[in-house]
Copies of this chain bind each other. A is one copy, B any other.
């Protein structure tokens, strides 16, 4: 067994057995070795084996039979697929002033209160990232470049870092000029700069529906109107609906997450991406592409960006390393196409620049030979976590629940059975100390009342799978209780 330091031992053992079950090495119904045998076999304490067995049990891969031991479950739990979230495309509604009043922030917060079990975030935690590798890169950068702490850094970022990013962008299918890359303080900072560069207050911006709640908050704070366009849970933004929007509304920009959209986890097919660029060009509309999850997508095909189809600078590519490498570096970047000058000017005026030391540490990290392997490992681990979570959902959520099957990432979108309001479930879970995101957060128009976003980010423990099971149980309980009228 290849042990690593970041994943708890019991999880490494559990995953090894999960793999043996998934690939058929262990047959359905077969008995597992005893705790004592397993402990000896893996050279670990019995308690570690027990933890591993509980993890497998939570994932419904094995069952315990009293006084007999553990057996491979007779068949894997069935996971009902997510249907289209919206009815067949009728086109978008009217643009609306966004008035979400920071609902997303108020419900999910920046930091969940201590003691709350969070199943709301999609960012990998300490157990999936490599703090020591990061430390070494930062220590090296400050040792070599201490004088940069005494200088205002370049607004667009250190040249060495921009070159490293251009090289990195080949993995997104892009050939970029380092001179046109602008390093930002995270992806949202980049998106805000792009929106400000291409809009005036009152302008209309197309969003996916459902969409990331922070996009709604951002449109509100920039006094922009949102046009929410139906989005398929697997294939992303409906281009037919978008075409209707472009034909009938004064749209200035389309802001979307083409790969592993938030919250759906949808991935737009490459043919559609190409068509999106053509439509945007024809209508003179900016495409603001948030590519923050691309590295988490299972296939190379899906990691290719919309920007890779962009010959004329119509796409503004926004990216960061917060979801894959180091949320704490606070670095992202933008290639803003035709609007590069405007973005650079806004950035220079407002926030100036990021720390050159951290930019150079980032350049070091993403050009290290081991970086691609680290990304592969991250995807594999996220995939195992996702699989375990989907199985718990299939087994413990009420009948009629449907769940997405995104090709990567750490976010799952659920459609609860009709009659079960996600906001009510959210509140009931909160009372039991569990945080999960109700679907209404992801629309300015109060849609997705039975949607639920489950986040598998952060440090993952047996308590989290248990928490997920408890959410299912609470949902089942609520299904049996008539909803009380609000006073």
Contact = CB atoms under 8 A, between A and B. Distances in A.
Nearest to A6: B150
Contacts of A116: none
Contacts of A146: 131-132, 134-135
A149 B135 contact: yes
A330 B350 contact: no
B150 A125 contact: yes
Given A154-B111, A189-B350, A350-B192, A328 B125 contact: no
Contact of A328 (B102, B135, B329, B357): B357
Contacts of A353: 110, 330
Interface stretch (A36-44, A89-97, A213-221, A467-475): A213-221
Contacts of A180: none
A142 B143 CA distance: 12
A352 B148 CA distance: 24
A188 B185 CA distance: 14
B354 A330 contact: yes
Contacts of A126: 147, 150-151
A13 B264 CA distance: 68
Nearest to A320: B352
Nearest to A106: B345
A196 interface: yes
A462 to B, nearest CB: 21
A135 B356 CA distance: 13
Interface in A344-364: 345-346, 348-358
A106 to B, nearest CB: 9
A351 B189 contact: yes
A424 interface: no
A154 B152 CA distance: 25
A348 B109 CA distance: 9
Given A350-B188, A351-B185, A355-B355, A147 B131 contact: yes
A315 to B, nearest CB: 21
A105 B322 contact: no
B139 A143 contact: yes
A200 interface: yes
B149 A138 contact: yes
Interface in A200-219: 200-201, 214, 217-218
A129 interface: yes
A184 to B, nearest CB: 8
Contacts of A305: none
A251 interface: no
- Integer count of this chain's copies in the complex: 2
Pick the most buried of A149, A353, A357: most chain B CB atoms within 10 A of its CB.
Answer: A149
Interface residues of A, number: 61
A330 B355 contact: yes
B351 A150 contact: no
A188 B134 CA distance: 29
A445 interface: no
Contacts of A417: none
Given A150-B131, A330-B352, A357 B221 contact: no
A345 B102 contact: yes
B152 A350 contact: no
A276 B8 CA distance: 59
Contacts of A259: none
A445 to B, nearest CB: 19
A280 B98 CA distance: 31
A317 interface: no
Pick the most buried of A102, A110, A201: most chain B CB atoms within 10 A of its CB.
Answer: A110
Contact of A155 (B110, B132, B201, B329): B110
Interface in A121-144: 123-126, 129-132, 134-135, 138-139, 142-143
B348 A351 contact: no
Pick the most buried of A129, A131, A150, A156: most chain B CB atoms within 10 A of its CB.
Answer: A150
A355 B352 contact: no
A105 B355 contact: no
The 10 A-B pairs with the shortest beta carbon distances in the complex, nearest first, are A135-B146, A149-B328, A134-B149, A129-B150, A201-B201, A110-B155, A152-B327, A217-B349, A189-B351, A131-B146
6 contacts: A124-B150, A126-B147, A131-B149, A152-B322, A218-B350, A329-B355
